[in-house]
Each structure stands twice: as C-alpha cells, then as structure tokens.
C-alpha cells in the first residue's frame, strides 16, 4: 500500500505518521506537500496533527484553502480512504468533508495525555480490526478538540453508526471525567456518510509500538490496510 502524508506549513506529526506506517506497519509512505495537486498514486491519505498555518483564524481554516485540498476531496469522492488526525480532523471539518466543528477544550488548556477510546462501530475501513466496543489506549495532544455538532447532525451520526470512537474509562464506561476536552456525547472520532473518511483527535501513530507505551493505534492502520487489500 502507498500512503500519502499531507504536510501543511505548521504540520508537526508527519514524521511520526511516516515512522508508524513504514517502520511499524511495513507500508510505503511519502510526504505530500500542501501545494501538490495530484494524489492519484496513493491508496490512502493521512492528514496529520500540528498547527497548520499557525492555527490563525481557526484551526484548519486556512489549510482548507490549500491547493492540495481539491485533490483530497476528489480522492474522497472516488471512495478512497482519508484519515485526519487532530489538526487533520479540524481541517476535514473546515473543508466540509466531515460535519461539525472542533472548539477550544472545555478546560481552556492544552491537553497532552493518554486517554481511552471505545470503538463504537467495527463497520468501517478504519475500525474493522477492532472488536465491538473494544477499548483502545491512545494519546491526545490538542487545545481545540472539543467536538460539537447540532442536534440533527448528532441524530444522523448516531442513527448511521458514524461515531467511530468515544472517550471512555479503562472499563469502557462513558463518563464525563473520562472526556478530556468536553466533546459532545464524548465523541472522539467520526466517519463521513460513505464511511471512507475518518476524523479523530487522538494520535494512533503515537501508539504504534511497545516502546512508545502501547500498540493500540496499529488497529486503525491495520484496519485500513486490510480494507484496501481486501478490496483489491
């Protein structure tokens, strides 16, 4: 598989994603600069974390207008996989590829810690390797990860099983004190209506080998790999 890792000015998790995909998962990965306009050679695209364009205006608000975004939208429209992590999730929301917005954390603090996530669906190319309601342990690092969407959007997300992950306790229980940023309904990651675009605030690339404290993030990468190989 060939992964394209999109780099905007201010991106800072691209090397972590490259290492996870190549050294931990044994896949091919290349960097895609924000001015590139052709991503046709990639099976999947990764929008990694960081502070694209310094997070001026709003997180992801300027990156949404980068030349590469038209190609990313075409890639998604063709049914190919796109995953946005942290700032990548914010960019996908700003671009309209995912519904809702990411706001300042409830605490108004930058939160850098390891959290627990519950897989809310295994019916997606990003969660197929998970067990139903499996609890994953994955780090976060963000100041604006407070997901919000209106009532109609939440009804659609829940009805169509498009909430991919929720923050939870180690036992899988949803609780307010397990929600690190105040996200509505403890949402940590969502899917688009075609289920080929995922946005999530936690960083699976930082949970891809035992040396870093755990390998639960590899379930997301493995799900993507198996989905693409199985569709070939």
Among candidate residues 42, 126, 50, the one with its CA nearest the CA of residue 88: 50
DSSP string over 49-90: -B-GGGG-SSTTTTGGGSTHHHHHHHHHHTT-EEEEETHHHH
Say whether 152 is catalytic: no
Say whether 86 is catalytic: yes
| Residue whose structure tokens are 């992801």 | 60
Q: Give Cα 155 to chain centroid, integer Å.
A: 21
3-class SS shares of the chain: helix, strand, coil, % to 5: 30, 25, 40
- Of the candidates 17, 59, 86, 93, the residue annotated as catalytic is 86
Among candidate residues 11, 14, 51, the one with its CA nearest the CA of residue 29: 14
For residue 196, the SS3 value is coil
Say whether 203 is catalytic: yes
- Residues with catalytic function: 86, 203, 205
């Amino acid at each position: 598989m060939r992964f394209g890792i999109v780099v905007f000015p201010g991106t800072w998790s691209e090397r972590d994603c490259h290492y996870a995909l190549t050294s931990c998962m044994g896949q091919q990965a290349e960097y895609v600069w924000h001015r590139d306009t052709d991503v046709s050679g990639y099976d999947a695209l990764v929008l990694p974390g960081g502070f694209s364009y310094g997070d001026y205006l709003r997180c992801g608000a300027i990156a949404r207008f980068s030349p590469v975004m038209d190609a990313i939208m075409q890639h998604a429209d063709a049914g190919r996989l796109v995953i946005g992590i942290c700032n990548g999730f914010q960019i996908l929301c700003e671009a309209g590829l995912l519904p809702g917005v990411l706001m300042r954390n409830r605490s108004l603090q930058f939160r850098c810690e390891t959290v627990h996530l519950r897989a809310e669906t295994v019916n997606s190319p990003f969660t197929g390797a998970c067990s139903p309601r499996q609890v994953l342990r994955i780090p976060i690092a963000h100041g604006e990860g407070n997901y919000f969407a209106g009532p109609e959007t939440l009804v659609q997300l829940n009805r169509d099983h498009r909430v991919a992950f929720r923050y939870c306790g180690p036992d899988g229980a949803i609780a307010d004190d397990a929600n690190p940023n105040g996200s509505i309904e403890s949402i940590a990651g969502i899917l688009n209506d075609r289920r080929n675009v995922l946005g999530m605030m936690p960083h699976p690339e930082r949970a891809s080998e035992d040396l870093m404290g755990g390998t639960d993030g590899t379930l997301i990468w493995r799900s993507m790999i198996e989905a693409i190989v199985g569709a070939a």
